[in-house]
C-alpha cells in the first residue's frame, strides 16, 4: 500500500507540492509568531536579570529601564550627586554604580560607569584587563575593537551632527566576555572621564541649578552664558576614585545591587517620590510583555485565519482531485480492493502531504524567528534565544490532529463512491 501511495504522489507531484507549500506557509507563520514572542521574552528577561534595581529622576519608568539596562538613547533628567553618594554609603546596598551617556564611537555608545559594576555583571575578560585610569576603556564582546586600540569619543552621533572630542582618545585595555546583554555592544569608560570631558566635576565646582541635557552626562554649576561646546580638562593618566560625594555631577541613572530581597523592596520604596523613582526592571518588562501579549493575540488570530483559509483550499483541491481520480478508484474497487483499503489510501495520501507540510512549516517558522532575532540583536544588542518548548509539541499535535480530521473528508468521498458509477464516468 505504501509503495502504491508513493508512486501515486510521484505521478501527481505538482499538486502534491502545492499542498505541501500551502500547509508549510500557514504553519510556519504560526510557529514564527510563537517562537519570536518567546525569544523576546527570554532575551529581555535575561538581559535585565543582571540589574536588580534602577534609580533615576522622576519620569518615565519604561524609558529609564530601556536607557540604563538596554542602552537605548533618550534624554533623561539627572539625579543629583547626593543621591549617588547616599546610595553608595547605604548599608543595605552591596554596590551602586552610576551610568552616564552622551558620547559614541562609530555608532557604538560610550557608557561611563565604575569597575565595580563591570566586575559584578560580567564573567571576566576574553583579552586584556580592567581600566585603571581616566584615559582607558574596556569594550563589550560584540565591539570590533581590541586591547591597544584607541577610541576618539564623539559627542552625540554623526547623524545628529555630533562633534569629536579632540582632547582625549581612550586606550582600550580589555575586551569582556559575552554577557548576552546590550552591554556587549558598548564601550565602557570611567564615569569621571565622561564628566571631565564635558567640563564637569573638576574641583567639585558644581554650585547652582542642575541642567538636564539630552546626553545625560552634563549637569549643574554652569553660568547662563557658558558655551555648551566647551571641553573640560582630561588627565588620561589620573587614577580612579570611585568613592562619590554629594558634590559630584548628576547622572541619568544609578544601577543598584541590594544586599537582600527585603533591602531591594525597601530601597525601591524609599526612592519612589521626592524627585526620584526606583524600579525593578522585571516589573517594567512585565508591563511591556502585556502589550506584547496583545500583539501576539492579533498575530495568532491572523495565523489561525490563514490556516482556516488553507484548510478550505485543501478541501477544494482534494475534492477536485478525487473527482479526477474517479476511474482509478473505480478500477481499484473493480479489481477487488475493499472500501476500507480505498479509504485508507486516500486518507494516508493527504495526511502524508500535510505531515510533510507541517514539518516544513516548523522549519520555516524556526528559520524566520532566527532571522528576525538576528536583526533585532543587531539593533538592540541583547541576544534573543529561539528555543522550542513543551507547549510547541501541543501546538504541533493540534495541527496534526486537525490534519487527520481534514483528511477524512476526501477519504469518505472515495469510500462512498460506487465502482460501477466511477467506471461509467
121 and 28 part of one domain: no
Label residue 249 exposed, middle or buried (CB < 10 Å: 0-12, 13-18, 19+): buried
Average pLDDT value for residue range 107-119: 91
29 and 76 part of one domain: no
Which three three-digit cell numbers place residue 173?
585595555
320 and 411 part of one domain: yes
* Structure-model confidence comparison of residues 395 and 259, the more confident one: 259
227 and 164 part of one domain: yes
189 and 311 part of one domain: no
- Domain boundary among the residues 258, 279, 300 is at 279
98, β-bridge pairs: 254
Cα(138)–Cα(211) distance, rounded to whole angstroms? 29
272 and 300 part of one domain: no
In terms of pTM, does the model score above 0.75? no
Residue 211: the pLDDT is 40
Cα(322)–Cα(140) distance, rounded to whole angstroms? 62
Convert the pLDDT of each residue in 239-257 to its tens digit.
788 888 888 888 999 999 9
Convert the pLDDT of each residue in 190-219 to its tens digit.
998 888 887 776 555 444 333 434 444 443
169 and 234 part of one domain: yes
Three-state secondary structure of 51-74? CCEEEEECCCHHHHHHHHCCCCCC
> Residue 99 pLDDT more than 80?
yes
Which residues, including other chains, have CB under 8 Å from residue 216's CB and lie 6 or more apart?
67, 75, 76, 78, 100, 101, 102, 251, 252, 253
Determine which of 212-221, 327-336, 406-415 has the lowest per-residue pLDDT on average.
212-221
275 and 305 part of one domain: no
- Domain boundary among the residues 244, 279, 314 is at 279
239 and 307 part of one domain: no
Q: Where are the beta strands (DSSP E) in 187-311?
A: 187-190, 253-258, 276-279
Domain count, the chain: 2
- Domain boundary among the residues 250, 279, 308 is at 279
* Residue 258 DSSP SS3: strand
Q: Where are the beta strands (DSSP E) in 196-300?
A: 253-258, 276-279
Which three three-digit cell numbers place residue 10?
510521484
92 and 212 part of one domain: yes
Q: Where are the beta strands (DSSP E) in 73-195?
A: 93-105, 108-113, 125-128, 136-139, 150-151, 154-155, 163-164, 170-176, 187-190
Residue 30: the pLDDT is 83
58 and 25 part of one domain: no
Evaluate whether 267 touches 92 at the Cβ level (below 8 Å).
Answer: yes
Which three three-digit cell numbers place residue 189?
569608560
Torsion angle (degrees, nearest 10) of CA 292, 297, 298, 299: 90
71 and 139 part of one domain: yes
* Residue 274 structural domain: 53-279
Amino acid at each position: 500500500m505504501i509503495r502504491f501511495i508513493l508512486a501515486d504522489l510521484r505521478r501527481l507531484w505538482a499538486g502534491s507540492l502545492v499542498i505541501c507549500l500551502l500547509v508549510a506557509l500557514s504553519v510556519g507563520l504560526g510557529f514564527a509568531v510563537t517562537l519570536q514572542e518567546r525569544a523576546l521574552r527570554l532575551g529581555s528577561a535575561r538581559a535585565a536579570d543582571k540589574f536588580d534595581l534602577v534609580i533615576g529622576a522622576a519620569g518615565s519608568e519604561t524609558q529609564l529601564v530601556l536607557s540604563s539596562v538596554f542602552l537605548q538613547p533618550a534624554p533623561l533628567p539627572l539625579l543629583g550627586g547626593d543621591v549617588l553618594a547616599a546610595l553608595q554609603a547605604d548599608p543595605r546596598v552591596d554596590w551602586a554604580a552610576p551610568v552616564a551617556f552622551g558620547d559614541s564611537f562609530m555608532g557604538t555608545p560610550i557608557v561611563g560607569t565604575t569597575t565595580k559594576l563591570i566586575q559584578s555583571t560580567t564573567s571576566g575578560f576574553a583579552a586584556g584587563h580592567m581600566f585603571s585610569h581616566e584615559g582607558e576603556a574596556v569594550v563589550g564582546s560584540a565591539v570590533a575593537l581590541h586591547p591597544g586600540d584607541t577610541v576618539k569619543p564623539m559627542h552625540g552621533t554623526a547623524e545628529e551632527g555630533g562633534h569629536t572630542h579632540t582632547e582625549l582618545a581612550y586606550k582600550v585595555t580589555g575586551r569582556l566576555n559575552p554577557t548576552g546583554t546590550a552591554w556587549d555592544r558598548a564601550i565602557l569608560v570611567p564615569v569621571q572621564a565622561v564628566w571631565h570631558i564635558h567640563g564637569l566635576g573638576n574641583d567639585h565646582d558644581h554650585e547652582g541649578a542642575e541642567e538636564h541635557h539630552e546626553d545625560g552626562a552634563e549637569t549643574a554649576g554652569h553660568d547662563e552664558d557658558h558655551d555648551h561646546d566647551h571641553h573640560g580638562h582630561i588627565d588620561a593618566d589620573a587614577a580612579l576614585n570611585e568613592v562619590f560625594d554629594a558634590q559630584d555631577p548628576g547622572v541619568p541613572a544609578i544601577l543598584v545591587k541590594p544586599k537582600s530581597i527585603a533591602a531591594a523592596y525597601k530601597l525601591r520604596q524609599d526612592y519612589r517620590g521626592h524627585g526620584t523613582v526606583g524600579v525593578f526592571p522585571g516589573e517594567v518588562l512585565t508591563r511591556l510583555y502585556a502589550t506584547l501579549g496583545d500583539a501576539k493575540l492579533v498575530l495568532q488570530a491572523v495565523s489561525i485565519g490563514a490556516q482556516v483559509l488553507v484548510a478550505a483550499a485543501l478541501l477544494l483541491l482534494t475534492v477536485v482531485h478525487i473527482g479526477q481520480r474517479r476511474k482509478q478508484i473505480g478500477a481499484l474497487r473493480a479489481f477487488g480492493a475493499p472500501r476500507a483499503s480505498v479509504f485508507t489510501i486516500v486518507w494516508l495520501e493527504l495526511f502524508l502531504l500535510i505531515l510533510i507540510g507541517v514539518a516544513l512549516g516548523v522549519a520555516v517558522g524556526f528559520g524566520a524567528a532566527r532571522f528576525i532575532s538576528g536583526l533585532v540583536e543587531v539593533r538592540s544588542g541583547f541576544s534573543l534565544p529561539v528555543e522550542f518548548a513543551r507547549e510547541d509539541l501541543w501546538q504541533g499535535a493540534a495541527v496534526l490532529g486537525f490534519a487527520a480530521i481534514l483528511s477524512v473528508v476526501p477519504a469518505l468521498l472515495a469510500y462512498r463512491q460506487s465502482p460501477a458509477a466511477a467506471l461509467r464516468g
